[in-house]
A and B are shown apart, each in its own frame.
Chain A
Amino acid sequence: AQKITQTQPGMFVQEKEAVTLDCTYDTSDPSYGLFWYKQPSSGEMIFLIYQGSYDQQNATEGRYSLNFQKARKSANLVISASQLGDSAMYFCAMREGLDSSYKLIFGSGTRLLVRP
């Protein structure tokens, strides 16, 4: 089974509007971490936001927030006030606490295009 599922291959959003990128995950490990990365056309991977499984509050970092719904196993990224520079690929990823390698498992990504 897929550990991380991103069901939106591509999304459009109008500049200055908010957009939600979906991510669902599958794990039986009680301790895990969820990450979002941005990959512009240059290929670099830029860390955006992190949510721990025991965190009570939803994570926020500037214009990025993570809508964490533990019971539904979803960790959607919300980008507020979209900017043209937000056009990129976005990846959701998970790390499980019982995995001693601490490797990140990535979803297939969502390509976001911000329209002027």
Chain B
Amino acid sequence: SQTIHQWPATLVQPVGSPLSLECTVEGTSNPNLYWYRQAAGRGLQLLFYSIGIDQISSEVPQNLSASRPQDRQFILSSKKLLLSDSGFYLCAWSPGQGVGDGYTFGSGTRLTVV
């Protein structure tokens, strides 16, 4: 069966420090991968998506970047965090074959920038 792992679960980082959040999927190949951010009490904002290795698309301009070094690995990074980067980050995957494909979400990373 397919599983998705996301870590760390919580993170407190100072302003200006780097960030690396990792997401891996098991039990499937060539998944579509997504990074979302959720501000406190708000909806999910799509940050990046990837339909294949080295195929990353950004939805919103920001100081974050994403990479997909392997088929089932999706990494969210920042060189210098801002206070506004605080939030709940969710990784998700989908088979990418049709409108009815479900999304499976990771358990999320709660990031606090201080």
Contacts and interface: CB of A to CB of B under 8 A. Distances in A.
Contact of A52 (B46, B92, B100, B105): B100
Contacts of B101: 95, 102
B43 A108 contact: yes
A57 interface: no
A96 B102 CA distance: 13
Contacts of B97: 102
Interface string A82-109: 0000000001000111001111111111
Contact of A44 (B36, B42, B103, B105): B105
B51 A100 contact: yes
B78 interface: no
Interface residues of A, number: 26
Contacts of A108: 42-43
Contacts of B43: 91, 106-109
Interface string B31-43: 0101010000111
Interface of B: 32, 34, 36, 41-44, 46, 49, 51, 57, 88, 90, 92, 94, 96-103, 105, 107-108, 110
